Amino acid sequence: MTTLDWTQRFSGTAALPTRVRERLNKAAHIKHLKKGERVFGPTKIPDGLMFLYEGRIRVSQSSDSGREIVLYRVDAGESCVLTTACMLAEEAYNAEGVAETDVTVVILPKMTFDRLSAEEDSFRNFVFAAYSRRLIDLLRVVDDVAFGRIDVRLADRLLTLGQGLKEVRATHQELASELGTAREVISRVLNDFQKRGLIEQSRGLITFRNKAELEAIAAAP
Amino acid sequence: MTTLDWTQRFSGTAALPTRVRERLNKAAHIKHLKKGERVFGPTKIPDGLMFLYEGRIRVSQSSDSGREIVLYRVDAGESCVLTTACMLAEEAYNAEGVAETDVTVVILPKMTFDRLSAEEDSFRNFVFAAYSRRLIDLLRVVDDVAFGRIDVRLADRLLTLGQGLKEVRATHQELASELGTAREVISRVLNDFQKRGLIEQSRGLITFRNKAELEAIAAAP
DNA sequence: GCCGTTAGGTGACAATGTCACAGACGGACC
DNA sequence: GGTCCGTCTGTGACATTGTCACCTAACGGC
């Protein structure tokens, strides 16, 4: 079906015998999506387990009132269990996944997924670990939202998004959606950061001036 | 080891062949805990999957500053996957489970758990479903905390806790811990409810006066 | 009844969210 | 170059929620 052997890319499948991996390569569907496209959402639930072969997916939840919060990101080599969770639970929810870069996903049909988790320990453990990881991620989100100060969270998120870079390319609205708050709030805090010489701003771009101090803020003031 | 055949109580084990269930009954540890006791926590992670045979467990997360929020409740017949998640992830977290009634839990050693999820489809599905359910629960919590109004959330929680009863026995502090907010906030909102004739209050007790109106509030005003 | 503990009340203030609207900037286009 | 238009950002007033300090009321044990 394809020449792409994705099974080498995931810790849950890489160790499987060649014979099994060939079977998987036959059963799976491969999809390419452009940056910005919706990978899954309330009206678009894939019928199987999703592996992210390449790129990054941003998973977020949105409110009726139009606000949004980023729950976590799925990186290449990870699987996205939230979709399977929703498949099973059949409950209302409003989380969606958006391709943050061009993306290649592998979709393993439910039947193959079931068989594999029965037969292969390493695969099953991989799936359990994926679930666990997301649970922990969500615990962190709850903790932040319920108890965290907005300046602390923003400083932290800027540094995360800026990973070793000198700047972050994002609008205030996008940052608000990261943290589940309103744009005006972000504007205020960023202006405060700027006054204190921690960053510089221009349209859609934030430049670091003093990462050390930002880190201090992010570590709870 | 015990005369209690817990395997009949869980949809993941009830359908298993008698032989398997006998083996499980041998392998599992049974624990009785009194109301109010901590079932698990950061310093007390059981080394296996936990089934709740009888009673109810409240799972909550607490902040450094002493505030607390209830994440979900585990009812009899359900399993508590959060502990296994933490086992796998080995990350810092501060969720804990407290017995809300006297409680009987069954702990299945990791090894038995692994074997069973490999061999028995119904058991594996049970576990996956449990994970999914909790993920969905947490999505709901995030949604509430990030986007919900406090009066709406409180009305909803009161009705949930009051399930068909005429009153709810809880202090303001306890309700604050349910929602992850401060006691003063609860006091204010409850006083408002009282002024509007929706409830009556006395020490540690809230009596419904107008459930219909509360439901209207809970359904987002 | 007395006393200590816990539950609840209150006002002032800080932090965050909402709303309405005003500028400011950048790209497209001529 | 200028002009237009959509998007991004700034701002002030106000509502909601969280924090703090301190007080009063209710209950339980003795």
Q: Which of A93, A124, A143 sits opposite B139 (nearest CB)?
A: A93
The average confidence (pLDDT) of chain A is: 91
* CB-neighbour burial class of residue B127 (10 A; exposed 0-12, middle 13-18, buried 19+): buried
What confidence tens digit (pLDDT) does each residue in A25-41 have? 888 999 999 999 999 98
Please report, for residues A4, A19, A133, B46, the alpha-carbon distance to residue A7 in angstroms, rounded to integers and kept in the order given. Answer: 9, 12, 21, 33
Strand D reaches within 7 A of the B202 CB:
yes
Record: contact A89-B136, CB cut-off 8 A: yes
Highest mean pLDDT pick, A121-135, B11-25, B151-165: B151-165
Nearest CA-CA partner of B139 in B76, B204, B72, B195: B72
Q: DSSP string covering B3-29, please? A: S--GGGGSTTTTTS-HHHHHHHHHH-E
> To the nearest whole percent, how much of chain B has pLDDT over 90?
73
User: What span, in angstroms and rounded, lies between the C-alpha atoms of A72 and A70?
Assistant: 6
- Residue A67 pLDDT exceeds 90: yes
3-class SS of residue A59: strand
**Count, residues in chain B:** 221
Separation of A181 CA and C16 C1' (Å):
9
Highest mean pLDDT pick, B9-13, B36-40, B156-160: B156-160
Record: contact A63-B143, CB cut-off 8 A: yes
- Residue B2 pLDDT exceeds 60: no
The whole-number pLDDT of residue B90 equals 66
- Residue B201 pLDDT exceeds 90: yes
Separation of A202 CA and C29 C1' (Å):
25
What confidence tens digit (pLDDT) does each residue in B53-93 have? 999 999 999 998 889 999 999 999 999 999 888 777 667 77
Strand D reaches within 7 A of the A201 CB:
yes
Q: Which residue has the higher pLDDT, A46 or A11?
A: A11
Q: What angle do CA B209, B152, A92 make, to 5 degrees?
A: 120
The whole-number pLDDT of residue B69 equals 97
For residue B3, the distance in angstroms to the closest alpha carbon of chain A comes to 31
Please report, for residues A39, A95, A150, B18, the alpha-carbon distance to residue A34 in angstroms, rounded to integers and kept in the order given. Answer: 10, 19, 32, 52
Separation of A171 CA and C25 C1' (Å):
13
Q: Which residue has the higher pLDDT, A99 or A15?
A: A99
> To the nearest whole percent, how much of chain A has pLDDT over 90?
73
The whole-number pLDDT of residue A85 equals 82
Question: Is B80 part of the contact surface with chain A (CB cutoff 8 Å)?
Answer: no
The whole-number pLDDT of residue A22 equals 86
Q: Which of B91, B131, B147 sits opposite A131 (nearest CB)?
A: B131
Give the 3-state secondary structure of A129-150: HHHHHHHHHHHHHHHHHHHCCH
Confidence of residue B13 (pLDDT cuts 50, 70, 90): confident
List B38's β-bridge partners, or say none.
B98
CB < 8 Å from B in window 98-157 of A: 114, 117-119, 121, 124, 128-129, 131-136, 138-143, 145-147
3-class SS of residue B181: coil
Cβ contact A89:B136 at 8 Å:
yes
Record: contact B124-A118, CB cut-off 8 A: yes
